[in-house]
Chains A and B, each alone.
Chain A
Amino acid sequence: EPEVTQTPSHQVTQMGQEVILRCVPISNHLYFYWYRQILGQKVEFLVSFYNNEISEKSEIFDDQFSVERPDGSNFTLKIRSTKLEDSAMYFCASNRQVAGDTQYFGPGTRLTVL
């Protein structure tokens, strides 16, 4: 069964450094998402991406964040200058179409900012 994959599983970085989190969505899916979950808190929506552009973003997704689909398979989340409060589990998700289609989540990347 096809699945969403994410790398790395765990990323440790110093405050102020740039990180890129990588995702490979399911191959025939057209809509891509990033969510994050701070330890012990809700899963929060960050951004959705369709047709090579951002379709919706949350208040969390400020200028420090960017997303890209650099080729036909990868979908990346970049944090330019990490802060301590960026420490969280970051989940990528994808779905094939909007209506009546469920989002399938990857296993997550745990980001630890020191």
Chain B
Amino acid sequence: GEDVEQSLFLSVREGDSSVINCTYTDSSSTYLYWYKQEPGAGLQLLTYIFSNMDMKQDQRLTVLLNKKDKHLSLRIADTQTGDSAIYFCAEKGELTGGGNKLTFGTGTQLKVEL
């Protein structure tokens, strides 16, 4: 079945850039997503990228997709303490008519230090 993997932890200093990486196995992925989860909270959609794109920028967020290597990354510029959270990569497989499940990665705990 599909699998999505991420590194578990990342620690950065406030003001630096953070890069969170993700690899996936599903060659028929159509969309890839980044969700943010703060302690005790739900999953907040941050951004997504369609599989025929290489890059998407949204304010401080840059998503890079290497479809050949099945590698996705999320870059957060000027990381702030409020960015401390768990970041989940998720992929949606081949589109069907009945809805499409998301397959999530393990989540990367981002810690921003002063």
Contacts and interface: CB of A to CB of B under 8 A. Distances in A.
Interface of A: 31-33, 35, 41-45, 48-50, 55-56, 58, 91, 95, 98-100, 102-108
A48 B45 contact: no
B102 A56 contact: no
A56 to B, nearest CB: 6
Contact of A55 (B95, B99, B107): B99
A42 B42 contact: no
A102 B105 contact: no
Contact of A33 (B33, B45, B101, B107): B101
Contacts of B103: 45
B104 A48 contact: no
Contacts, number: 67
Interface of B: 31, 33, 35, 41-45, 48, 50, 88, 90, 95-107
Chain A contact residues, majority secondary structure: strand
A106 B42 contact: yes
A99 B101 CA distance: 12
B88 A56 contact: no
A107 B102 contact: no
A105 B105 contact: no
A70 B57 CA distance: 41
A74 B88 CA distance: 27
Contacts of A103: 45, 102
